[in-house]
Chain A
């Protein structure tokens, strides 16, 4: 055994200093080296461990959603590689950036963890030299519902790839780097990055596009914890007034144009297609990298058929703003309305 403590004091004495991360509020970040970001600076390859992540199916899609939620914004990854199928381990410190599924006992009962090797911080900046991602095999890997508060794999992949790109946990913001539970949007990729995260990736690597990206969620944050803004089933008579809260954000750089955000009541829970009765429209422009919780008050239509309804929000329903991603504008509330009176 070599005691690293015998060599480190000399390095420390020569200026090994990590300053705390930038003070910008709620931005996903990592401790700096001499005021410089600790990030990838050289050719970056990502290797999928084929022994544990198959070539198709939910697990494969969860892997791709995890890495592309970040990399589609910045194209930092130079190559995506596949390890041979008989390579059933992840070597730490071999210079390869591997992504694998592991038994939960290997990562002390956690959903996932990421091992990052960072260069010595001596003079000037340093870089991430290697990062290996491990996600628990005990998790479900399908697309989570917009109101999921359970441990699940897709959000874990997004979170761990945030560590991969150099970001620390960020429990002040509503983003993917929050520890579980995390916020979700709707659509076909509910496990997503949020403004907190895109501010981070923008400051580290720059973004491919300056376009806005509107993103709604049924989840808010309070006292550092993510929670459903609304939940349960509430009886609502026709003609009654109801108020539902949604998180709305713009994860892009530029402000969105004045677009119509619309509330629908629908017996369908799907957030990939818009079907239902429109009950409220509001024209809004949202500044880049901003977010807040909005309340939408509406009247339950007197002609609405009796039934149980999900409350949906579709942002920029008319598609006025060209966005970085167009399939993440639709979500639904955790609350359902039971319409059986009036």
Chain B
């Protein structure tokens, strides 16, 4: 009996120890918490597609959100390169859903290396701390930014009117079946550090017809119902592939045609016949 008790106790202790070890292992390897992995698009999430009009934009939109950027921080590792974490507050989900949290956090590729160098990705909208934005957030898998087709608009109040301006400081005049219609830039752009800029450009009139948040939402509703698309699926704040390496699309043609190329550089094609392959052209 006593032997059974000790054996039993030993078993319990061993089981407890194993459980603790498993818990500790899970916690430190992030396997226990889906919080870290949550937000990464699953393998079967729809891929991002080219945005050509309102329909293709809305088809890829999980949510239309208004929010204020309160903090952005670069996270860096050798394997991922720099990524910037954006944290928003005062989140208003106008259409769709971003999950059950009151805050909005997502990542975009780019930011600072530890040595001060900076990775700038041309397709990533530059967002400035302290500014409020209207954002179209993806329902697709993504690699660089979760914002659909550059549809990130800063909210500006000027001359007692509300304007929405894109990251090139162009006010939205309309949102039609063709997508967003923009006026010429009306404000200077913030610098890469998010400083200065945003001043009214001299000699540029603000457009008579311009959308505010509420009229944009109305226009989006109209296009959404007209095309029967928009605000379905899940928003994923993390990329499906966070790596400092881009996979390329392999071409299928034969590679054995190098020496048949005779055009010169000046005409727009390389003269490969006189130089070794694999290195210079």
* A and B part of one assembly: yes
Q: CB distance A136 to B246 under 8 Å?
A: no
Q: CB distance B251 to A59 under 8 Å?
A: yes
Q: A52-B250, A103-B247 are in contact. Are A81 and B255 (CB under 8 A)?
A: no
Q: Which of A84-92, A234-242, A302-310, A330-338 contacts B (4 or more CB under 8 A)?
A: A84-92
A91 in complex: contacting residue of B111, B112, B245, B260, CB < 8 Å: B245
A20 to B266, CA, bound (A): 35
A305, chain B: closest CB distance, angstroms:
36
Q: CB distance A163 to B269 under 8 Å?
A: no
A116 in complex: contacting residue of B50, B119, B143, B191, CB < 8 Å: B119
Q: A19-B191, A101-B249, A134-B246 are in contact. Are A109 and B143 (CB under 8 A)?
A: no
B138 within 8 A of A: yes
A11 in complex: contacting residue of B82, B116, B124, B185, CB < 8 Å: B116
B144 in complex: contacting residue of A50, A54, A90, A107, CB < 8 Å: A107
Q: CB distance B122 to A114 under 8 Å?
A: yes
A174, chain B: closest CB distance, angstroms:
13
A4 in complex: contacting residue of B74, B120, B173, B247, CB < 8 Å: B74
Residue ID in chain A nearest B72 by CB atoms: A5
Q: CB distance B191 to A31 under 8 Å?
A: yes
B115, chain A: closest CB distance, angstroms:
7
Q: CB distance A55 to B118 under 8 Å?
A: no
Instruction: Mark interface residues in A110-134 (1 if CB within 8 Å of B CB, else 0).
Output: 1111111111101000000100101
Q: Which of B9-17, B91-99, B152-160, B271-279 contacts A (4 or more CB under 8 A)?
A: B271-279
Q: CB distance B269 to A64 under 8 Å?
A: yes
Q: CB distance A56 to B257 under 8 Å?
A: yes
A182 within 8 A of B: no
Q: CB distance B251 to A108 under 8 Å?
A: no
Q: A55-B272, A56-B260, A113-B122 are in contact. Are A2 and B141 (CB under 8 A)?
A: no
A118 in complex: contacting residue of B120, B124, B196, B281, CB < 8 Å: B120
A60 in complex: contacting residue of B109, B124, B246, B269, CB < 8 Å: B269
Q: How large is the interface on A (under 10, 10 to 19, 20 to 34, 35 or more residues)?
A: 35 or more
B216 within 8 A of A: no
A89 in complex: contacting residue of B76, B117, B182, B248, CB < 8 Å: B248
A230 within 8 A of B: no
B47 in complex: contacting residue of A52, A65, A105, CB < 8 Å: A105
B10, chain A: closest CB distance, angstroms:
41
Q: How many residues on chain B are close to A (CB under 8 Å)? A: 85
Provide the residues of chain A in CB contact with B23, threshold 8 Å.
Answer: none
A55 to B251, CA, bound (A): 10
B145 within 8 A of A: yes
Provide the residues of chain B in CB contact with A110, threshold 8 Å.
Answer: 50-51, 123, 149
Q: CB distance B244 to A91 under 8 Å?
A: yes
Q: Is the interface of B mostly helix, strand, loop or mixed?
A: loop
Q: A4-B75, A52-B249, A224-B185 are in contact. Are A116 and B122 (CB under 8 A)?
A: yes
Q: CB distance A55 to B258 under 8 Å?
A: yes
Q: CB distance A72 to B48 under 8 Å?
A: no
B214 within 8 A of A: no
Q: CB distance A100 to B266 under 8 Å?
A: no
A33 to B117, CA, bound (A): 12
B132, chain A: closest CB distance, angstroms:
21
Provide the residues of chain B in CB contact with A19, threshold 8 Å.
Answer: 191, 196
A173 to B81, CA, bound (A): 34
A284 to B148, CA, bound (A): 46
Q: CB distance B143 to A1 under 8 Å?
A: no
Q: A55-B255, A81-B280, A111-B50 are in contact. Are A101 and B248 (CB under 8 A)?
A: yes
Q: CB distance A4 to B191 under 8 Å?
A: no
Q: CB distance A92 to B119 under 8 Å?
A: yes
Provide the residues of chain B in CB contact with A104, threshold 8 Å.
Answer: 47-50
A175, chain B: closest CB distance, angstroms:
14
Provide the residues of chain B in CB contact with A171, threshold 8 Å.
Answer: 168, 170, 182, 184-185
Q: CB distance B74 to A106 under 8 Å?
A: no
A102 within 8 A of B: yes
Q: Report B's interface with A, CB cutoff 8 A.
A: 47-52, 60, 73-77, 81-82, 109-124, 138, 140-145, 147-150, 168, 170, 173, 181-185, 188-193, 195-197, 207, 241, 244-251, 253, 255, 257-258, 260-261, 265-266, 268-270, 272, 277-281
The 5 closest A-B pairs by CB, nearest first: A120-B116, A113-B123, A105-B47, A4-B74, A137-B249
Question: What are 30 of the A-B contact pairs (CB < 8 Å)?
Answer: A1-B76, A2-B76, A3-B75, A4-B75, A4-B111, A8-B74, A20-B191, A21-B189, A52-B251, A57-B253, A85-B255, A85-B278, A100-B249, A101-B249, A101-B251, A102-B248, A104-B50, A105-B140, A106-B247, A107-B144, A108-B123, A109-B49, A109-B51, A110-B51, A118-B120, A120-B117, A122-B116, A163-B122, A171-B168, A171-B185
